[in-house]
Structure 1
Amino acid sequence: MLLMLSSPHAHGGDTIRVMMLTVILALLPAAAVSVYLFGWLALLLILLCMAASLATEAVCLKLMGKPLSTLLDNSAALTGLLLALTLPALTPWWMAVLGSIFAIVLGKQIYGGIGYNIFNPALSARVILLISFPLQMTSWLVPMSAATPPVDLYDLSTCLTLFFAGPDALKSSLDAISMASPLGHVKTEWTLGVPVEGALAAYNYSYLNAFLGFETGSIGETSVLALLIGGVFLLARHSITWHIPFSYLATVALLAALFNAIDPAHFAPPMFHLFAGGLMLCAFFMATDPVSSPVTPLGQIVFGVGCGVLTWSIRSFGGYPEGAMFSVLLMNCAVPLIDHYCRPRVYGHDGRRV
């Protein structure tokens, strides 16, 4: 008698700990660039978010009577790192701690822990912080790549003062050390009647600078090159598949190209959208979260297309300059529906209702 067993028939060797560590390694190029651009502020943010996430996870595990050994799965550390990379360099220390608590408690443990969350924990916390503290979360620090940096971000004492006491402690106004992001500048100028091309020219925008990372934004989203290196690493390791990143980026590029051809004064070109904001970070590291994304290849493509449509729509018509974060969270809500309609046919089933 032939015994038929369901797959998988072999273990690939990866564990949750290895998977999380792989993503952390893939984020190291973006983290390194953030430290180069924003100095000690970026490093302080990263270390504090990771430490606060681990501490919060330990408290939650203790309260729920679960073993503290779960901390060794690297998921809390990854959540802290991802959260830090989505924050502006001028984020105060207490907001970094508060965001880490939100990410672990409201984004993860309240659903039952790893594997049960319906939203990406880091993105959930980032959106909560943005809605609660819009001024601090939209204050973009001028990076050290600027011709005349207003503050020496490589000086530890200066950065400690900025981090724990805020910009006013240095007797400098926020406007003196910050500037609008490219997405924010284009949207603001459009409301004033300035076309996209004129807004980019006034901003002295450069695609090369945006690709390398020499623009304002959250500390981990500025360098497209660093994020692509990390994304390719994940693809090569088979930690993620191409379906979500490709469909996500292709959808944004296609919509941007189409509407830019129709009305170039209003709609930014595709290259600008691909290089701006948190699109690359979300496409490779947030939207591909295996817990909060669809399980089938077709479902992942549908998910990516939905993220792309929402990202471009919010950027073009919404009140917020950036739409990548909101798009991923909104599509997280649709994952059960996507999985329901994109289920693969059961092996040996002819598709007839029984």
Structure 2
Amino acid sequence: MEPKKLVVTASPHIVDQSSTRGLMGHVIIALMPALVASAFIFGFRALLVTGVTVAACVGFEALYCVLMKKPVPVGDLSAVVTGLILAFNLPATIPLWIAVVGAFIAIVVVKQLFGGIGCNFANPALVGRIALFVGFAGRMTAYAFPETDIDVLATATPLVAGKSLSSMDMLFNLAFGIHGGVLGETCSVMLLLGGIYLIVTRTISAAIPVAYLGTVAVLSLVFGQDVVLQLLGGGLLLGAFFMATDYVTSPFTLKGKIVYGIGLGVITCAIRFWGNMAEGVSFSLLIMNLLVPYINDLTRQKPLGGVKSK
């Protein structure tokens, strides 16, 4: 029998009491204000879609692990978070069976087939959203609008139609979700509260959202776009705080996080300003997720006393 070997790595050796369940719990808490707001704006249908995606994600993860005779990890709450974020990327009008298809793609195809939590190449909810957008574009763009029947632009989301509103009206509508869209791109105030909670509790680093939002703000100024509309419209806040900061698919070095955030901002603005789609958050996240291994390699800190590679 081969004796056990002691593997010594470079200091410092940091011990952290964080657990996957605890971190996912913080994310769930941070998403609750936006979920309450979406239920108030779109009605019971918003809660129904969210409940279906969460139940489907948890169910698919448990079923897959049972069939593969693997430990069932649903207790770590990662599948719940995936279901919540997937729901936030769907309109309240989405047929429930399509939401279930998205959950299957996110959990089984993207997460479990690649080895489970920690092994996925991209954010599962993100890929589920993109797959549904490509396969069911009509359903995914059949946006719901506030049940309060306030005077809103009922033909497009703010990124498309916002220029026809006055600055104050646009700011109010974007801040409080008085416009059409998917569940997670409406009430900016609640998304900001959730993002601040994640930063304060140190669940996420502020580097990625600050670099992402800052890049979008600067490029919007440079190219003559409305900064408030670009920052608060679309899925930018949801992407910056809840999707770009995914532990598995984002860089682990500070320098890498900043490069990652800047890259997200550049691609998002390129798609928004010159692409055929009004929104660019999802595809920018997917592209940068695929580049994360290279960003990690290029920004990896040299160990103190380590020999530089020739």
TM-score normalised by the shorter chain: which range applies?
over 0.9
Give, in angstroms, the shift of residue 214 of structure 1.
1.4
**Cα 1:295/1:60, change in 2 over 3 Å:** same
- Cα distance in 2 for partners of 1:118, 1:49 equals 21
Aligned partner of 1:74 in structure 2 is 77
- Residue of structure 1 aligned with 2:45, choices 41, 45, 70: 41
Aligned partner of 1:206 in structure 2 is 170
Aligned partner of 1:125 in structure 2 is 128
Amino acid of the residue matched to residue 181 of structure 2? G
C-alpha RMSD of the superposition = 2.0
Tell whether 2:302 aligns with 1:345.
Answer: yes
Give, in angstroms, the shift of residue 184 of structure 1.
3.1
Aligned partner of 1:304 in structure 2 is 261
- Return the index of the structure with the highest Cα Rg: 1
- Cα distance in 2 for partners of 1:6, 1:90 equals 53
Aligned partner of 1:27 in structure 2 is 31
Aligned partner of 2:158 in structure 1 is 182
- Residue of structure 2 aligned with 1:233, choices 170, 184, 197: 197
Amino acid of the residue matched to residue 75 of structure 2? L
- Cα distance in 1 for partners of 2:121, 2:282 equals 15
**Equivalent residue of 2:185, what SS?**
coil
1:18-48 deviation digits (Å, cap 9, x = unpaired): 1111101110111110111011100001100
Aligned partner of 1:102 in structure 2 is 105
- Cα distance in 2 for partners of 1:114, 1:249 equals 27
**Equivalent residue of 1:27, what SS?**
helix
- Cα distance in 2 for partners of 1:272, 1:25 equals 27
1:145-182 deviation digits (Å, cap 9, x = unpaired): 43279xxxxxxxxxxxxxxxxxxxxxxxxxxx953112
Aligned partner of 1:13 in structure 2 is 17
Give, in angstroms, the shift of residue 349 of structure 1.
2.3
Amino acid of the residue matched to residue 347 of structure 1? L
The percentage of counterpart residues that share the same residue type is: 41
Query: Which stretches of structure 1, 4 residues or more, deviate above 4 A after TM superposition?
Result: 4-8
- Cα distance in 2 for partners of 1:5, 1:276 equals 46
**Equivalent residue of 1:184, what SS?**
helix
Tell whether 2:291 aligns with 1:327.
Answer: no
- Cα distance in 2 for partners of 1:55, 1:44 equals 16
Q: Is the 8 A contact 2:213 2:231 kept in 1?
A: yes
> Please, what TM-score do these two structures have when normalized by structure 1?
0.81
Amino acid of the residue matched to residue 290 of structure 1? Y
- Cα distance in 2 for partners of 1:230, 1:301 equals 21
- Cα distance in 1 for partners of 2:168, 2:306 equals 60
Q: Is the 8 A contact 1:30 1:221 kept in 2?
A: no
- Residue of structure 1 aligned with 2:179, choices 206, 215, 227: 215
> Please, what TM-score do these two structures have when normalized by structure 2?
0.93
- Cα distance in 1 for partners of 2:15, 2:148 equals 47
1:225-277 deviation digits (Å, cap 9, x = unpaired): 101111111101111111100000000000001110xxxxxxx3111100100
Give, in angstroms, the shift of residue 63 of structure 1.
2.0
Number of aligned residue pairs: 303
Amino acid of the residue matched to residue 183 of structure 1? L
Amino acid of the residue matched to residue 85 of structure 1? F
**Equivalent residue of 1:334, what SS?**
helix
**Equivalent residue of 2:40, what SS?**
helix
- Residue of structure 2 aligned with 1:134, choices 137, 151, 155: 137
Tell whether 2:108 aligns with 1:144.
Answer: no
- Cα distance in 2 for partners of 1:179, 1:236 equals 38
Amino acid of the residue matched to residue 295 of structure 2? I
Gaps of 5+ in 1: 150-176, 187-196, 261-267
- Cα distance in 2 for partners of 1:185, 1:206 equals 10
- Residue of structure 2 aligned with 1:63, choices 62, 67, 76: 67
Gaps of 5+ in 2: 1-7
Amino acid of the residue matched to residue 120 of structure 2? N
- Cα distance in 1 for partners of 2:309, 2:58 equals 50
